[in-house]
Amino acid sequence: MGIGTITQSELANFVKACDELGGVGSSNCADLLSDFRYKPTSIINESLDPFSEEYVQQQITLYSEISGRTLDQQINEFTGFDLENCINAQNPYAHSDPTFIAKHSRTVLQAVELAQLPPNPEILDMGCGWGLSTEMMAFCGAEVTCVDINLQFLDLVKQRSQKRGHPVCTIHSDFESFESTKQFDMILFYECFHHAVRPWVVIDNLTGLLKPGGKIILAGEPIQSFWWKHWGVRLDSQSIFCMHKFGWFESGWSLSFLQQLFAKNNFHIDCRKKIGFDGGMICIIQNAEEYQAGKKSITISNTEKARNYLRRWRHSPIFTTPPGRFLIKIYTLVKHMTLALERKLSILTNSK
């Protein structure tokens, strides 16, 4: 039998019950969580401007209700682990499950491929955490600057990169106060953008850090509108568990809100479904003018290819030397059709 609907007073028992079954992510918890629902007491007014401080404070109040803490990410986002063990392990998680590592590695590599980077790119890895994304991108030939709020994570990344000869720079900062004098070909948020309390402030600060043609990539992020029309604290069992046990800030956003958020800084966002971690999205964000210019270039290129193909086809021997009246008629008909299509393609190209 499932745990059903719970309220604030039952959160400690909920976490305890999950831990006794091996943790919220364990298959042993499946039955317990089958009908899970959290009923908040904090009021969220979804008619407010989702970018307003009033709305932000309502979501922070809900976070405090669930976590039992005051929001302080310098303290609450800390994750302890065996540093020495992770430094010397085959992967930074010191994880022995190849499927788990393969899923994460594939998602990071997919993000790198979608960014269409130049050789020897400079990449900013925001919220690098354990550093798997940093290692994968450095392995691909990138110079990586990684940012995290957790000093122990940065120590792990620094020591592992030095052992492997990877060009990696570490910076201790939270998202909203991060600054840099460098520009980057790609800025990656892998499973971390949802920890930003005011993500629009983060993007405001990063806008000037992209090189021409540079892209922001979101991967492993919770894009949905199940609980909130715009954005807010996630109310699924795993998020509730993590907020109450660890104090992490776990938010999510609707796709329409993300589009608004990035449009504020003249970005276009293209979210590709079912290619991320466990079939999730990967979002490619770039300057709107650069996106339109690239789209137009591809259209013109494809149109030119079609025109050249029709020209070669029209002048091929089977049409220019037809062996008989019937083939001559077919040739004449196809000739007029191809000329008409070529004129339409020419009009299409000139209109762009």
Element (DSSP H or E) covering residue 294: helix 288-314
Cβ–Cβ under 8 Å, residues 77 and 249: yes
Cβ–Cβ under 8 Å, residues 187 and 126: yes
pLDDT tens for the 352 residues of the chain, in order: 799 999 999 999 999 999 999 999 899 999 999 999 999 999 999 999 999 999 999 999 999 999 999 999 989 988 889 999 999 999 999 999 999 999 999 999 999 999 999 999 999 999 999 999 999 999 999 999 999 999 999 999 999 999 999 999 999 999 999 999 999 999 999 999 999 999 999 999 999 999 999 999 999 999 988 899 999 999 999 999 999 999 999 999 999 999 999 999 999 999 999 888 888 999 999 999 999 988 766 555 555 665 665 566 555 555 555 455 565 666 667 777 777 776 766 665 555 5
Write out the E strands in 173-332: 184-190, 210-219, 231-233, 251-253, 267-272, 282-287
Cβ–Cβ under 8 Å, residues 122 and 183: yes
Between the alpha carbon of residue 156 and those of residues 83, 147, 230, the distances in Å are 6, 12, 36
Is residue 123 one of the residues assigned to a domain? yes
- Residues 78 and 192 grouped into a single domain: yes
Query: In terms of residue numbers, what domain contains 50?
Result: 5-67
Is residue 248 one of the residues assigned to a domain? no
**What is the DSSP-derived secondary structure letter of residue 207?**
G
- Residues 121 and 174 grouped into a single domain: yes
Is residue 329 one of the residues assigned to a domain? yes
- Residues 44 and 170 grouped into a single domain: no
Cβ–Cβ under 8 Å, residues 157 and 146: yes
Domain boundary (46, 67, 88) is at 67
- C-beta contacts of 336-341 below 8 A and 24+ residues apart: 338/310, 338/313, 338/314, 339/314, 341/310
- Residues 113 and 210 grouped into a single domain: yes
Overall number of domains in the chain: 3
Is residue 217 one of the residues assigned to a domain? yes
